[in-house]
């Protein structure tokens, strides 16, 4: 079974809320105002305070205008966020031009809008914003007022120091943006993969509930329907006396109400499944997993490798059924003729081992199996056309099995006629606890 995260889950649909941007800018405005006030009133350095306050006021006016025009929970399009970040870069560059340019230690804050862009916007916007920021940094190296300092004292900063600050700003911008982008992309992939896992588990639980309720309904409907049939036959043989039929009619009504209640539970998929329908012996559960994959010309041979003690009885867990089913499906996809499924259990552990006679896992794939962003696959070595891949489906299967308490290991069998080797092992206590 193959899954694709698609383009719909990328940067374009991860829009920032307006309140996130405005709150961040209010924080920046507060910091800028505090810095300018401290330098002017506490340190008593000479600086164009009116011009600085004007630029800070522009940022505040923009914030208030955005808050007035749009609701706080509005999700901005990437172009809108990009425009706002360009304003932030330009406003900060203006403040720096009035207060020493790249000789001002706060020039390092130029990289902040680029980092925000790297984590929230498509890469093309981040590249453009980084180029604009680098252009502003280059201009600030030559066009700026002197660094605020004590009155009547001239501070001479060498050009090589300014060049070093430019290199520091640009290099920090590039490396932090790349790092933030990779971290955010990995988080996005994991979030999308987990969302897909939840959808799969929800679907499997729905199907499992329907299956269990249908079996329970068939079991429970047998008794009232048999009673209705028997009473109806007796009524057909008896003379039509209303007094004699009163008790029979009441019984029919009771049994009909019971049937209606059973069918109501089936239609609502209530949580009242019969206990005996939700508990399975290990081999019975495995046969349910294997059954859909027997029609593809591949021999599937389940065997018991070790059985110390009684056979485990486990809950009919949709996550376990889907996870094992996905692993069996992948084994069938890549097998040439045969898939072996070896069961083993003792007092402490329960193990399911799946071995196919296909080409095995390539080393570059084996190292990353179970990751949600796996781009490699062994699809070129897949004998059966239309079979599944090794990307998100494996991640979902591994995640669901690990949720049930299992550990999953992928390897190659390294023996004649054997390929991929997958071992799923549970502590026996965790498998049987729910059952």
Task: For residue 142, give its domain range.
Answer: 7-198
Contacts of 382 (CB under 8 A, 6+ apart): 333, 334
- Specify whether 147 is located in the same domain as 288: no
pLDDT of residue 16: 82
- Specify whether 35 is located in the same domain as 83: yes
- Specify whether 324 is located in the same domain as 257: no
Cα 314-196-189 angle, rounded to 5 deg: 125
404 located within any domain = yes
2 located within any domain = no
Q: Is the pLDDT of residue 206 over 80?
A: no
Contacts of 162 (CB under 8 A, 6+ apart): 101, 102, 103, 141
Q: Which two tokens stand for residue 71?
A: 């609701």
pLDDT of residue 183: 87
Q: Please report which confidence band the pLDDT of residue 272 belongs to, taking 50, 70 and 90 as the band edges.
A: very low
**Alpha helix segments (H runs only) across 238-303:** 242-268, 275-278, 282-290
- Specify whether 95 is located in the same domain as 51: yes
- Whether 195 and 374 have beta carbons less than 8 Å apart is answered as no
| Of 18-22, 279-283, 325-329, 375-379, minimum mean pLDDT range | 375-379
Which domain CATH number covers 410?
3.30.565.10
1 located within any domain = no
pLDDT of residue 432: 65
62 located within any domain = yes
Q: Is the pTM of this model over 0.75?
A: no
Q: Is the pLDDT of residue 163 over 80?
A: yes
Determine the Cα–Cα distance for residues 197 and 260; give it in Å rounded to an integer: 35
Cα pseudo-dihedral 87, 90, 92, 98, rounded to 10: -140
Q: What is the H or E stretch that residue 280 is in? A: strand 279-281
Query: Which of 276, 308, 337 finishes a domain?
Result: 276
- Specify whether 303 is located in the same domain as 382: yes
Higher pLDDT, 53 or 429: 53
Q: Is the pLDDT of residue 216 over 90?
A: no
Query: What's the Cα-to-Cα distance from 204 to each of 162, 198, 200, 217, 430, rounded to whole Å?
Result: 62, 10, 6, 19, 21
pLDDT of residue 295: 76
pLDDT of residue 4: 43
pLDDT of residue 135: 97
DSSP annotation of 12 = G
- Specify whether 150 is located in the same domain as 29: yes
Mean of the per-residue pLDDT values of the chain: 80
Query: Which of 198, 231, 259 finishes a domain?
Result: 198
Contacts of 395 (CB under 8 A, 6+ apart): 193, 197, 370, 371, 372, 374
Instruction: Compute φ and ψ for 56, nearest 5 degrees.
Output: -65, -40
- Specify whether 50 is located in the same domain as 74: yes
- Other CB atoms within 10 A of residue 68 CB: 7
Q: How many domains does the chain have?
A: 3
| Of 10-24, 55-69, 215-229, minimum mean pLDDT range | 215-229
Mean pLDDT of 376-380: 47
* b (16+ CB within 10 A) / e for 221-237: eeebeeebeebeeeeee
Query: Which of 235, 252, 276 finishes a domain?
Result: 276
Q: Please report which confidence band the pLDDT of residue 89 belongs to, taking 50, 70 and 90 as the band edges.
A: very high
Query: What's the Cα-to-Cα distance from 371 to each of 190, 376, 394, rounded to whole Å?
Result: 8, 11, 8
> Distance from first CA to last CA of the chain, Å, rounded?
28
- Partners of 303 in the β-ladder: 342
Determine the Cα–Cα distance for residues 148 and 100; give it in Å rounded to an integer: 7
| Of 281-290, 294-303, 368-377, minimum mean pLDDT range | 368-377
pLDDT of residue 308: 76
- Specify whether 303 is located in the same domain as 269: no
- Specify whether 171 is located in the same domain as 90: yes
315 located within any domain = yes
Please choose, from the candidates 372, 366, 343, the residue with its C-alpha nearest in 3D space to the C-alpha of residue 420: 366
Q: Is the pLDDT of residue 377 over 70?
A: no
pLDDT tens for 1-26 read: 444 444 444 544 467 888 889 999 99
Q: Please report which confidence band the pLDDT of residue 108 belongs to, taking 50, 70 and 90 as the band edges.
A: very high
297 located within any domain = yes
Mean pLDDT of 186-207: 68
Higher pLDDT, 419 or 2: 419
pLDDT tens for 286-298 read: 888 888 888 778 8
187 located within any domain = yes
- Specify whether 241 is located in the same domain as 294: no
Query: What's the Cα-to-Cα distance from 301 to each of 220, 336, 344, rounded to whole Å?
Result: 35, 14, 14
Q: Please report which confidence band the pLDDT of residue 188 belongs to, taking 50, 70 and 90 as the band edges.
A: confident
pLDDT of residue 376: 46
| Of 41-55, 77-91, 121-135, 284-298, minimum mean pLDDT range | 284-298
- Specify whether 211 is located in the same domain as 325: no
- Specify whether 50 is located in the same domain as 65: yes
Higher pLDDT, 362 or 79: 79
99 located within any domain = yes
Cα pseudo-dihedral 382, 387, 390, 394, rounded to 10: -140
Q: Is the pLDDT of residue 270 over 50?
A: no
Higher pLDDT, 25 or 218: 25
């Amino acid at each position: 079974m193959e899954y694709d995260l698609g383009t719909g889950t990328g940067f374009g649909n991860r829009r920032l809320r307006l309140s996130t941007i405005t709150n961040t800018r209010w924080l920046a405005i507060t910091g800028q105002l505090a810095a300018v006030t401290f330098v002017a009133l506490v340190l008593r350095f000479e600086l164009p305070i009116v011009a600085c306050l004007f630029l800070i006021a522009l940022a505040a006016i923009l914030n208030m205008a955005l808050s007035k025009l749009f609701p706080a929970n509005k999700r901005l399009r990437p172009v809108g966020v990009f425009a706002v970040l360009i304003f932030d870069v330009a406003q900060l560059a203006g403040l720096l031009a009035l207060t020493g340019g790249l000789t001002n230690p706060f020039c390092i804050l130029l990289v902040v809008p680029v980092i925000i862009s790297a984590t929230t916007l498509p890469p093309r916007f981040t590249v453009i914003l980084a180029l604009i920021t680098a252009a502003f940094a280059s201009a600030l190296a030559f066009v700026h007022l002197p660094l605020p300092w004590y009155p009547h004292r001239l501070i001479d900063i060498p050009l090589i120091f300014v060049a070093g600050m430019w290199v520091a700003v640009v290099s920090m911008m590039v490396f932090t943006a790349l790092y933030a982008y990779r971290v955010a992309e990995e988080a996005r992939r994991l979030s999308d993969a987990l969302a897909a896992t939840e959808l799969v588990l929800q679907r499997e639980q729905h199907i499992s509930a329907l299956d269990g309720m249908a079996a329970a309904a068939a079991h429970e409907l047998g008794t009232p329907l048999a009673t209705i049939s028997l009473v109806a036959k007796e009524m057909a043989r008896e003379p039509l006396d209303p007094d004699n039929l009163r008790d029979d009619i009441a019984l029919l009504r009771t049994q009909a109400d019971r049937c209606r209640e059973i069918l109501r539970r089936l239609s609502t998929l209530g949580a009242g499944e019969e206990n005996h329908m939700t508990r399975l012996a290990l081999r019975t559960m495995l046969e349910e997993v294997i059954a859909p994959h027997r029609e593809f010309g591949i021999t599937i041979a389940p065997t018991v490798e070790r059985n110390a003690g009684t056979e485990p009885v486990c809950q009919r867990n949709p996550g376990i059924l889907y996870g094992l089913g996905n692993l069996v499906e992948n084994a069938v996809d890549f097998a040439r003729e045969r898939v072996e499924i070896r069961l083993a259990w003792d007092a402490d552990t329960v193990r399911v081992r799946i071995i196919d006679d296909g080409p095995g896992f390539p080393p570059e794939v084996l190292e990353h199996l179970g990751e949600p962003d796996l781009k490699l696959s062994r699809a070129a070595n897949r004998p059966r056309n239309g079979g599944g891949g090794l990307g998100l489906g494996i991640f979902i299967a591994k995640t669901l099995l690990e949720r049930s308490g299992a550990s999953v290991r992928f390897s190659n069998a390294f023996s004649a006629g054997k390929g991929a080797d997958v071992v799923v092992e549970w502590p026996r206590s965790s498998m049987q606890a729910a059952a």
